[in-house]
Amino acid sequence: MVGFGSAAVSTRMAGLALCLSSAFLCAPGVAAAQDKPQAGGTLRVVTYEPLCLDQIEGTSRNTQTALQSIYDRLVSESLDGKFHSWLASEWAISEDQLTYAFTIRDGVTFHDGTPLNAEAVRFNLQRWLDVKKAGSAPVESISSKDNVVTVKLRKAYSPFLHDLSEPTLGFISPASIQKYSKEERCAGGPGVTAGSGPFKVASRTPGRDLVLERNDNYNWAPADAAHQGKAYLDRVELRFLKEDSVRVGAVESNQADIATGVPAISVEDIKSKPHLKLLQTQQPGIPWSFWLNQSKSPLDDVRVREALRVGADYAGLIDAVFLGTATPAYAALTPAVALGHDPSLEKSWTFDEKKAKALLDEAGWSKTDSQGFRVKDGKRLTLRGISATPWSNQQRDLYAQGLKAAFAAIGVDYVRDVIDFGSADARFKANDYDIVDTSQAAGEPNLLYGAFYSTETWDKNTNWGFVKDKDLDGALADGLATTDREKRIAAYTAAQKIIAEKVYLIPIANPTVLLAVNKKVQGVTFGTSGQIGSYYDVWLSK
Amino acid sequence: MHIARELLIRILAGAAVLWAAASLAFAILQLFPSDPVQVIYGADSSVTPELRAAIRADFGLDRPVWEQYQHFLARIVQGDLGTSYQQRRSVISIIGSELGSTLTLASLSVLLAIVMACLASLVTSGRRTWLRKALSSIELLSVSTPTFWIGILLLTFFSFKWQLFPVVADEGWRSLVLPVATLALAVFGSLSQVMREEMDLALEQPFILTARTRGLSEWAVRWRHALGHTLIPCITISTETFGGLLAGSIITEQVFGRPGLGRITLEAINNHDIPVVMGIVLLVAFVFVTLNIVADLLYRLADPRLRVSAA
């Protein structure tokens, strides 16, 4: 057994590490470590609404983001991809990578007063297995004895700790699950929603707000938090406003302290307000990219794929459209994925219209029709792209229009439909598309497995390109088989190189997550999926 | 007797409309290409084939369409509208918890719009004054401006700039002012145009001349005699608008972040949350059927001639 002790990082060090790893976070002039955090006050956040307060029942990114201060997890993952003790004071992974033993920390209680012990953890994990089939983790069994929870896997699965650190796996009081119906738990409310986190639910009005108040018993913060003990804030008021411009207006007029989901067009406006600061971080995950469908003509030909990659000035368009809120992407993992991003791919291709045209000629698309589009065997070189409504936004729509013009210049007819998710699912099923454009958010390189492993096609995962590559499968399997950090980095670097070489994906933009924050708010962090972090370390300067 | 029979016929016809609406909605949703399983599980996540099968069985989606339809109708008759795919709550409880907020917003807005429109037509009909011109322009502007834009403008000035009314904090009536004003302005335009037209016509009628010859003041002529003639179109438009607002205040609720039926309608449609969409279709059909019956009764109150012919 390989053991991991609880990493006792001093709070000052943790804060400093955060500053260094994401320079964006530490804008000059913002109060830094020398200011002593002050307790008290109410934080007002305007953000999106969670659907169901029991995250195992209903889930969405919004749900997880809003609820991460209410529920605690087994382990905590910092932005550098390292794990820290939380409810598990220590853990051990067996040599064959199949058995995980977590020692549960003493003295933790849920908001309803019941103890959070090994049995409660086992109950929650079992529920995750029963209701959600444990996501994509190959969990075989879960058992608890004394203060140890043991999870057995059917096969090695390196992202397991990451999965356990995700907000979805926050633990709910088993007593509350037995006492309240599914419906009551989803609606939530004080008393009903019982986690063990630094904040508990004070009230919920669906469609309007969720108010959290401090849990004064809290004394089990993750080891990588900036402080220990109870949270600084008295209350957090999450107010749900769907309109981007209204959220921005609310922080600008001082009706709120933090706005999430700030659109690119508001960036200059926010920067011009003396009482506001703009926090931004690069989204960890797969960049906004084109998944290229290689199961059929024309994208089954690597020359056509390469022509698409060099046939448009992707980098130039990004500056024009994203207004500084995205950077050109080259690797299949964004630079924010500390564990795995391959920086050697930066600028590994450049805009070369001549080369693109030559490649298309070579691939047999040398004739053109009356409208100037290339044809082969009487068929026009049309690429049908799809994106789902939640995957797109104003900037991406605009960018795609720019690409359409650029592709037309090399004789490629690019059509893009933005459709609802259900319809997109139907198009996947019918294999009725050439390109899918989206981005994926998670600070875990195994995302590539779901997006490119040969068996992970649309019906169970996101290999929309029908990529079937033995070497790539091998690299992705290697990354999955070991929890050794260096070995994993090597495996995912190899995978990204294959993806780039064979043009399985055209990475376009590394998205940025933007928050508009009042300058009196200190200690705001970002989570491993690029979402705003827990409100535990946040405080208000007077 | 007549009224009772007529009412009974109307109620039966209403039931038929409800059944037709339910069946049509069911048929249309069957034609949707989407797979509800993905919706139930959440678009963020991938679903394994085993999980797909389990969810299908859970929601009865593995049964033949005909059987699903029968089951669906049987449930509706029993007052059960099913369970939301997304929120995992019963549709009845979702609608119930959102209805109050929408009712408040819709009734206050329609009421305010009626008061404004009545005042506007009382003051300006039959006259060619600058006031009439000004009001006409406002009406035209309100009819042709999208509600969304009215809302954003009101927010920008009254909330963000002058900070008179909050959009974030819940301060009782003060939080209601802007959304109500937004919707009322949108309704006011068309209502006021139609009412003034009616009053213009009424003011040219012989009975107005008679009233004037009796020495009634101009205000009394308008208030007591002409205004009554505008009530029929006013009832028609207001009841229809009110019905529309119940599910149609989507934009206003979205802009102001208010709970309500519009918000859940939008969410349900976006997420293909079919049981909720169905529930709302039925509710709206029900509301329109009821409002039509209510409007017919109100016509009798407003216009004595209808009472005579019905008796």
Q: Report in angstroms the alpha-carbon separations of A298 from A5, B142, B266.
A: 53, 51, 38
- Cα separation, A263 vs A394, whole angstroms: 9
Query: Is the preceding omega at residue A298 within 30 degrees of 0, hence cis?
Result: yes
Among the partner-chain residues A207, A209, A450, the one whose CB lies closest to the CB of B46 is: A450
CB contact under 8 A, A51 and B86: yes
Q: What is the pLDDT of residue A14?
A: 37
Rounded to the nearest 5°, which phi and psi values hold at A373?
Answer: -90, 150
User: In the predicted model, what is the mean pLDDT of residues A49-68?
Assistant: 76
**How high is the pLDDT of residue A32?**
47
Whether residue A256 is predicted with pLDDT greater than 60 in this model: the reply is yes
- Whether B229 contacts B201, CB under 8 Å: yes
In the beta sheet, which residues pair with residue A385? A416, A435
Of residues A236 and B58, which shows the higher confidence score? A236
Residues 6 or more apart whose Cβ sits within 8 Å of residue A44: A237, A239, A255, A256, A257, A258, B168
List pLDDT tens digits, range A380-425. Answer: 999 999 998 888 888 899 999 999 999 999 999 999 999 887 788 8
How far apart are alpha carbons A464 and A434 in whole angstroms? Answer: 9
A182 touches chain B (CB under 8 A): yes
Residue A436, min C-alpha distance to chain B (Å):
15
The larger pLDDT score, comparing residue A109 to residue B77, is at: A109
Q: Closest Cα partner for A8 from A167, A225, A170? A: A225
In B170-189, the residues whose Cβ lies within 8 Å of chain A are 170
Is the pLDDT at A5 greater than 90? The verdict is: no
pLDDT the model gives residue B42: 58
Query: What tens digit of pLDDT does each residue of B7-66 get?
Result: 888 889 889 998 998 898 888 877 766 666 766 665 545 566 777 777 777 777 788 888
Of the pLDDT bands very low, low, confident and very high (cuts 50, 70, 90), residue A277 is very high
Question: Do the Cβ atoms of B28 and B63 come closer than 8 Å?
Answer: no
**A62 pLDDT tier (thresholds 50, 70, 90):** low
H helix runs in B145-172, sequence order: 147-154
Collapsed DSSP state (helix, strand, coil) of residue A307 = helix
Q: What stretches of chain B show up as alpha helix (H) in DSSP?
A: 2-31, 36-41, 49-58, 65-77, 91-124, 130-144, 147-154, 173-203, 206-213, 218-220, 227-229, 231-248, 250-256, 261-270, 274-302, 304-310
Residue A60 is predicted with a pLDDT of: 62
DSSP character at residue B260: S
Let me know: does A95 contact A139? Beta carbons within 8 Å: no
| B276 and A CB contact within 8 Å | no
- Contact: A423, B34; criterion CB under 8 Å: yes
Confidence bin at A12 (pLDDT 50/70/90)? very low
Selection from A353, A347, A358 nearest residue A315 by Cα: A347
- State residue A61's pLDDT score: 63
> Which of A121-125, B94-98, B102-106, B303-307 shows the highest mean pLDDT?
A121-125
pLDDT in tens, A508-536: 999 999 999 999 999 999 988 888 999 99
For the cut 90, the answer to whether the pLDDT of residue B238 exceeds it is: no
Q: Give me the torsion for CA of A118, A122, A128, A133, rounded to 10°.
A: 140
A374-376, strands of its sheet edge to edge: A367-368, A374-376, A379-380
Looking at residue A8, its pLDDT comes to: 35
pLDDT digits (tens, 9 = 90+) for A449-503: 999 999 999 888 899 999 999 999 999 999 999 999 999 999 999 999 999 999 9
List pLDDT tens digits, range B125-166.
Answer: 877 788 888 888 989 998 898 888 999 999 999 999 999 999
DSSP structure class, residue A50: P
Task: Report whether pLDDT(B231) > 80.
Answer: yes
Q: Do B46 and A132 touch (CB under 8 A)?
A: no
Decide the pairing of beta strands A235-240 and A42-47.
parallel
Residues of A within 8 A of B101 (CB-CB) are 207
Q: What pLDDT sits at residue A329?
A: 97
pLDDT higher than threshold 50 for residue A359? yes
- Interval B252-307: pLDDT, tens: 888 998 888 888 888 887 777 888 888 888 888 888 888 888 888 888 888 777 77
* Helix ranges, B204-257 (H): 206-213, 218-220, 227-229, 231-248, 250-256
Please give the pLDDT value at position B47.
64
Phi, psi (deg, nearest 5) at residue A176: -70, -30
Angle between the A394-409 and A314-322 helix axes, to the nearest 10 degrees? 150
B87 vs A450: CB contact, 8 Å cut-off? Answer: no
Residue A27, pLDDT above cutoff 60: no
Of A46, A207, A252, the CB nearest to B260: A207
| CB atoms near residue A432 (< 10 Å) | 11
Query: Is A308 within 8 Å of A414 (Cβ atoms)?
Result: no
